Amino acid sequence: MSPGRRVAMLSLAALLAGGCAAGTAGLDVRYPEAGVNRAMLSTVAPRAVEIVPVVDRRVDPTRIGTSPKTGQDIVTARPVTEVVREALALELAKNGHAVVAGRRDVALAASVEEFWLDTVVGHSTTQYVGKIAVALAVTDGRTGDAVLARRYIGIKRRATETDSAGEDAERKVMDAALARVMHDLATDPELVRALAAVPATRP
């Protein structure tokens, strides 16, 4: 291979690699700290809560949707399990509870059942529907006894002008769906009663 052709091939390979990296960067879905408010969860005296590793139980854990424009998979910048765990930890902390790795009062086990974005492109508008479903199991941290099992679902719909549709709109829809899951969790009277029923091991 001639030197000129070798340089051209290397340049093409670098360009393709850069394009793949940009295309698979993913949506930076997260629960914004500014949107977290104290809720019913804060009425329980502080508990030491351990969040055990979040489990991904989605049928297809490799993606959260498909782009109607390109046909490419839509993915998240971080693992979905990490996104959900961070949101849980933030919600608990904002409501006065300590997220710990040991000597726990309560253990929370979360499973991600759905984390999906549907996109429908119309003539003048693009409709986004984000849906997130998280199953939560609560156990007594000392005895291991099951205390509560609940399922929380967050759905967000949003329409934008097709010309302005893009990753920013997709991310905002999924952020809002996640926020609704956390809001339902923090205002769930059943969860509040379950946490209150578990004695605190720390003053």
The residues spanned by each domain of the chain are: 3-197
pLDDT digits (tens, 9 = 90+) for 33-64: 765 668 899 999 999 999 999 999 999 999 99
Residue for token pair 């029923």: 197
3-197: CATH topology is Rossmann fold (3.40.50)
pLDDT digits (tens, 9 = 90+) for 113-165: 999 999 988 888 899 999 999 999 999 999 999 999 999 999 999 988 876 66
